[in-house]
Amino acid sequence: MIKEYDRGIISFKDYLEEIEVNNLYKDKYSWVKSIIIYIIPYYNVTYSGNYLPAKFAYLEDYHTSIQNFLKEEAEKIGLGKYETLVDVSFLNEKVCASLAGLGSVGKNQLFISKRFGTFCNIGTIVTDKEYECVKHDRFNLCLNCDKCIKACPTKALDNGFNKYQCLSYLSQSASTNFELFDNMVLYYGCDKCQDACPFNKGDRDHIYDNEALLNLEKFEKLKDYKEYSKNKTYNWIGYLKMLRNLLVLEVNNRNISVSKLEYYQEKYKDTKWFYNHLEYLKKKIGE
């Protein structure tokens, strides 16, 4: 249940003046008058263990929990026509939140909430209800301390943001930049730049889900991975990318044999990126 959040409202007209939106979306959403923005924190608690995801994936899929929350909010407010959006959106959510005076974007390209730091998600409700919206002056919370840049193990922030070097992106993709995976310490996502940010100091209360712990041994014992992952934030990346991530972690933790890698290499030999990555991992073990 979501109990803590920050909220702001902007007019759709002000948003359109701020950013160019595809005409298709303008037509489809011509009924929208206002955008209600919610900043919802997830909890800044680090648990011990070598086989964890990033903090935003500790619990159930935030897309589902936030969608449910937004629908409850819309009904409570008494909105007529509305649509709830989380991540999959025609809106630039970070621009919306900035226009609402709720925070700004940091050098790591993550939204910094005035209340919650960067450990937060953004959800929006677009509605035909027209509010009298206050225009907020834009501001920049980023302290220019460069701590996030220095903390990134793959140098993804050295010259702006290069997503193809970001460990969070890499954990979700079939990347062939195999050497960058040598820095992987989580099986999904990455928290390095956020842990370094001064706005994220201090833990928050959190109910820990033991299912967040996942290593290769547990993974191999799962009877149905799709069933296991259906309520997880990472369910969309599929079985093979998750297997790759866990194999990388086992190699990085020096906890796997070449024969085990060869087993999976042979099993999925028709998937070139996977086969080649395991070839790289075998050589790394032999170093």
Answer with the residue of higher pLDDT: 43 or 202.
Answer: 43
Q: Which of 74, 67, 202 is nearest to 121 (CA)?
A: 67
Q: Provide the 8-state DSSP code for 123.
A: E
- Compute the distance between CA of residue 33 and CA of residue 130 in angstroms, rounded to an integer: 5
Other C-beta atoms within 10 Å of 151: how many?
17
Other C-beta atoms within 10 Å of 273: how many?
16
Confidence grade of residue 127 (pLDDT, cut at 50, 70, 90)? very high
Q: Is the pLDDT of residue 217 over 90?
A: yes
pLDDT recorded at residue 68: 95
Taking all residues of the chain, what is their mean pLDDT, rounded to a whole number?
91
Confidence grade of residue 144 (pLDDT, cut at 50, 70, 90)? very high
Confidence grade of residue 3 (pLDDT, cut at 50, 70, 90)? confident
pLDDT recorded at residue 49: 67
How far, in Å, are 44, 64, 93, 109 from residue 61 at the CA level? 17, 6, 18, 22
Q: Provide the 8-state DSSP code for 53.
A: B
- Average pLDDT, stretch 43-69? 84
- Average pLDDT, stretch 260-275? 98
User: In this structure, which amino acid lies at residue 97?
Assistant: A
pLDDT recorded at residue 23: 59
Helix (H) or strand (E) holding 121: strand 120-127
Q: Is the pLDDT of residue 78 over 60?
A: yes
- Compute the distance between CA of residue 5 and CA of residue 21 in angstroms, rounded to an integer: 27
Q: Which residues contact 201 (CB under 8 A, 6 or more apart)?
A: none
For 85-105, the pLDDT digits (tens) are 999 888 999 999 999 999 999
Whether residue 252 contacts residue 259, with contact meaning beta carbons closer than 8 Å, is answered with no
Q: Is the pLDDT of residue 201 over 80?
A: no
pLDDT recorded at residue 11: 95
Confidence grade of residue 143 (pLDDT, cut at 50, 70, 90)? very high
Q: Is the pLDDT of residue 53 over 60?
A: yes
- Average pLDDT, stretch 249-253? 96
pLDDT recorded at residue 224: 95
Whether residue 40 contacts residue 111, with contact meaning beta carbons closer than 8 Å, is answered with no
Q: Is the pLDDT of residue 263 over 70?
A: yes
Q: Which of 197, 150, 189 is nearest to 167 (CA)?
A: 189
How far, in Å, are 3, 113, 186, 216, 228 from residue 212 at the CA level? 22, 25, 11, 13, 11
For 7-26, the pLDDT digits (tens) are 999 999 999 888 866 555 66
- Average pLDDT, stretch 207-236? 88
SS3 247: helix
Q: Is the pLDDT of residue 106 over 90?
A: yes
SS3 275: helix
Which pTM does this prediction carry?
0.90
Percent of the chain at pLDDT exceeding 90: 78
Q: Is the pLDDT of residue 208 over 80?
A: no
Residue ranges of alpha helices (H) inside 171-257 are: 192-196, 216-221, 225-229, 238-252
